[in-house]
Amino acid sequence: MSFFRSRAWCAAGDDHSSARRVCRNILVAALLVASVIAFASTASAQCAARDVLQNQLKLKTRSAPASQQPVMSARDVATWKTITIGTFTDSLALRNELDSRGCSVGGQAAEILARPTFTISSRKTNVELVDLSPAQLGFSSDTVTLADVYARAQQLGFELAAAEVGPQLRLQYFDQPVGEFLVIGMEPIKTWSGEPIILNVANGGAGLILIGQDGRAEADVSVTSRFIFVRSHQPAASREPIGSVAAFLPP
C-alpha cells in the first residue's frame, strides 16, 4: 500500500479507534521506509563503475594529465591534488570506509592494509600531492628501477607519501578517469610472506580500485608510469633519502 493510499484509508477509518491505530502504524512504517531509502541513496557506494561515470558527468572535471616537460626542481611542479589524511581513528575504520563506498581492494593491497606496519596519522592534515612520470624526472630508457625513481624524486625536493595516502586518495578521488593508474611513491610494506608492496590507485574500467604492486628496489617500472609524491616544504638542497629508501641506493 502506497503512502498516499494509506492516508486515504486512514481518513476513511477516522470513526474507528482501532483503524486509527492501524493507520498510524502504517504511516510511521511508510515514513521510516522513505527515510531508509533516502539515506541509502546518499550513502550509496561511489566506487562502482556506474557511480564513477555519474560522478564524472556531474562534476565535469578530469585529472590533469602529467606534463612531460622535464622537471628541474620541485618548485617547477604545480600541486596536482590536495587530500586530507588522519580522518579515521584507526586502520580498521579506514578499511571499513573503503568497503562501504564499494571501493575494491586487491589481495596484496588488502594484506598490507592489515599489517601492523601500516599506520595512519593521529591528526587531520592536508597533504599536497604531485603527479610525475619517471620521464619527467630525467629518465630516457624504456624502464627504470623503483629505487632510481625514488632517489631522483627526493633529489629534486619531493617526499615519499605516507602509506595512508593511497587509501585516502582512493576515497577522495571518485572522478578518476578510466585507464588511469597512479603509483603511490611510498616506502614499501611487506606482506606476511615478506614481499614488499606499494600501492596503486586505479580505474581499470570496472570501477575504482586500490591495488598492490612490486615494491622491490630493483623492480622495473615504465618511464611513462605516473607516480604520486608529496610536495616538500623544505629546500631541495636539504633533502636526503630517508627511511628504508636509503637502502635502495648504491654505496
Let me know whether 34 and 149 are in one domain. Answer: no
Domain count, the chain: 2
pLDDT of res. 69: 78
Q: What is the pLDDT of residues 114-131, one digit of tens each?
A: 999 999 999 999 999 999
pLDDT, averaged across the chain: 80
Let me know whether 62 and 107 are in one domain. Answer: yes
Let me know whether 165 and 72 are in one domain. Answer: yes
Let me know whether 38 and 78 are in one domain. Answer: no
SS3 state of residue 83? strand
Range of the domain at 17: 3-42
Return left, alpha or beta for 48; rule: phi > 0 is left, psi -120 to 50 is alpha, else beta: beta
Q: For residues 171 and 40, give the distance between their C-alpha atoms in angstroms, rounded to a whole number.
A: 18
CA-wise closest residue to 249 among 176, 147, 168, 180: 147
For the full predicted model, state whether its pTM sits above 0.85: no
Let me know whether 8 and 64 are in one domain. Answer: no
Asked if residue 16 has pLDDT above 90, the reply is no
Q: What is the pLDDT of residues 132-170, one digit of tens each?
A: 999 999 999 999 999 999 999 999 999 999 999 999 999
Q: Which three cell numbers stand for residue 230?
A: 608529496
In this structure, the number of other CB atoms found within 10 A of the CB of residue 146 comes to 26
